[in-house]
Amino acid sequence: MPVPSYQTLMLPVLKLIGEGHETIPSCLEPLRREFGLTQDEFEELLPSGKQTLLANRAHWARNYMSQAGLVEAIKRGHYRLTVDGDDLLANPPDELNAAFLRNYEPLLEFLQRSASTKEGGLSSPQQTDKSSDAATPEDLMAKSHREIETLLRNELLEAVLSVSPAQFEQLIVDLLVAMGYGGGDPAMGKSIGKSGDGGIDGVINEDALGLDAVYVQAKRYDPANKVGRPDIQKFVGSLTGESATKGVFVTTSGFSREAQDYISRVQQRIVLIDGEMLAKLMIQPGVGVRARAQYVSRSIDEDYFPERET
């Protein structure tokens, strides 16, 4: 039989994770046996040639179940069932698919985030479904791209949370350099990466003599643990001690309302970057990500085929 769709794989993958298969690679051989795939089908590659079709679809199945809150990460690439996942397997549906997963609020929130319109508004999943038949191929490609980018941001944060504090600090310095700070020269940025750093984790020199610099504080917090005003006050104090006027405070979580209000009242120019913005910024210059496949949409060259006058 052909390789099953990612939706067909959802329930089998959920069961395998429940049985102790923490990684998708460990699920592949059991899936091959369950669906009776031939060796050629099992080894069939995506057009990019970098991943098997089965592995790709199993990853997508796990991704959607993660967004629905049925599966959670133990560490990077390793997963277990949540309470909701255990409850579902205790009384499994006849078919587990994307439509069924919309019964879970976390997936609806994910779909809302990924359903941004070109004008910046949001369309509900129901509206997206109703309009899909009228969508052009370009519309569908754009929608899929937004969804992939949203999933990528979530996976990026998962990966960032798995690195050491020193690696995280270096990542932030690398990102700022990649964004053009310090003229884009890696030599202009450094991660301090040691205890007793006075609340400064990195410095980006904006000129060769170091007369103008951006100071960095990086907090690798759990998404549920927001950065509060005391952390921001400590950072401001460190900037004052360095006679610095510019700073960037980055966290994998978010900032409390008190922290955001406090920033608006200090003399230094300080930019707050939360986890969602961090992931977006990393994708743009390609820090920690790489292109797996590219699709080019072409149209007729009107200059080459000019319309003839009648």
pLDDT by residue (tens digit) across 169-228?
999 999 999 999 888 888 888 887 655 455 789 999 987 777 789 999 999 998 889 999
Q: Which amino acid is at 80?
A: R
Residue 280, both tokens = 């977006």
**Averaged confidence pLDDT in the chain:** 86
With a pLDDT cut of 90, the percent of the chain lying above it is 56
Whether residue 157 is predicted with pLDDT greater than 50 in this model: the reply is yes
Predicted confidence (pLDDT) per residue in 245-258, tens digit: 999 999 999 999 99
What pLDDT does residue 120 have? Answer: 39
Least confidently predicted of 43-47, 80-84, 124-128, 162-166? 124-128
What pLDDT does residue 249 have? Answer: 96
The helices-and-strands tally (H runs, E runs) of the chain is 13, 7
CB < 8 Å & 24+ apart, contacts of 235-243: 235/199, 235/270, 236/266, 236/268, 236/270, 237/199, 238/198, 238/199, 238/200, 239/215, 239/268, 239/270, 240/268, 241/198, 242/198, 242/200, 242/215
Whether residue 269 is predicted with pLDDT greater than 90 in this model: the reply is yes
CB 169 within 8 A of CB 193: yes
Helix (H, G, I), strand (E, B) or coil at 71: strand
What pLDDT does residue 124 have? Answer: 42
What pLDDT does residue 17 have? Answer: 97
Whether residue 161 is predicted with pLDDT greater than 60 in this model: the reply is yes
Kindly tell me the sign of the dihedral angle through the C-alpha atoms of 123, 126, 130, 136. Answer: positive
Predicted confidence (pLDDT) per residue in 93-146, tens digit: 988 998 999 999 988 888 787 765 343 333 444 444 445 556 777 787 888 888
